[in-house]
Homo-oligomer: A and B are copies of this chain.
């Protein structure tokens, strides 16, 4: 019975996600669904992203949070359009909540929409929001065994961002073990090893992101 209900919920989510994806394709707005555990560095990545990309691209952000607008407050200084979705206890965003807030943006004058999902390595990976692709983020402080233990996201994402590489010397994180674990789950996926606070590895990451945007615009 519960499986049937879950299937209905996912089907309805998928239909609305397809609508969102079609609308954004029409407007040539690339949408990134950014997913990680709490505190892996999603908001800091968005801060770096504004600094790196705002001069060339028109960026907007949807902040998914259970409660509070703390992450949105951190991004206010970049003067970009930001909408907060408070899930009030919900453990992930869904396509219906995304669809409802798309009206708030001037899609004609937008290149990229970043969605910071609720901090959760599990549930958000099961709900298509209509994004162009998912980005998986994981922090070195979480340990090198996460791809195998939480495989869904690492199978679904278009790229993996390993953040907080500056903490490796102070933890028992083994980068070869992590790479090998990720490889066993998804051998094809690009991996970017970065430190958002130290700005390490960001050149390569933003080269890749710019390429995604430019290819999408031309498609």
Say yes or no: A172 contacts B149, CB within 8 Å: no
Copies of this protein in the assembly total 2
Give the distance to chain B from A68, nearest Cβ to Cβ, in Å.
6
Select which of B5, B9, B37, B89 is within 8 A of A39 by beta carbon: B37
In angstroms, Cα B38 to Cα A39, docked, is: 10
In angstroms, Cα B147 to Cα A70, docked, is: 12
A81 in the interface (beta carbon within 8 A): no
User: Residues of B contacting A38 with CB < 8 Å?
Assistant: 37, 121, 142-143, 146, 149-150
User: Residues of B contacting A171 with CB < 8 Å?
Assistant: 167
Say yes or no: B150 contacts A164, CB within 8 Å: no
A197 in the interface (beta carbon within 8 A): yes
A18 in the interface (beta carbon within 8 A): no
Give the distance to chain B from A117, nearest Cβ to Cβ, in Å.
12
Can you list 20 residue pairs at the A/B interface with Cβ under 8 Å?
A2-B9, A38-B121, A38-B150, A39-B139, A39-B141, A40-B142, A67-B151, A70-B145, A70-B149, A89-B122, A91-B91, A91-B122, A119-B122, A120-B121, A120-B122, A120-B123, A141-B164, A166-B170, A167-B167, A170-B170
User: Residues of B contacting A66 with CB < 8 Å?
Assistant: 122, 149-152
Select which of B120, B123, B141, B150 is within 8 A of A167 by beta carbon: B141
User: Residues of B contacting A146 with CB < 8 Å?
Assistant: 38-39
A182 in the interface (beta carbon within 8 A): no
Q: Which of A145-161 contact B (CB under 8 A)?
A: 145-146, 148-152
Q: Which of A65-96 contact B (CB under 8 A)?
A: 65-68, 70, 89, 91
Q: Which residue of B lies closest to A141 (CB)?
A: B141
User: Residues of B contacting A152 with CB < 8 Å?
Assistant: 66, 89
In angstroms, Cα B141 to Cα A149, docked, is: 20
Say yes or no: A39 contacts B120, CB within 8 Å: no
User: Residues of B contacting A197 with CB < 8 Å?
Assistant: 172
Say yes or no: A142 contacts B70, CB within 8 Å: no
Give the distance to chain B from A4, nearest Cβ to Cβ, in Å.
11
Q: Which residue of B lies closest to A167 (CB)?
A: B170
Q: Which of A121-141 contact B (CB under 8 A)?
A: 121-123, 126, 139, 141
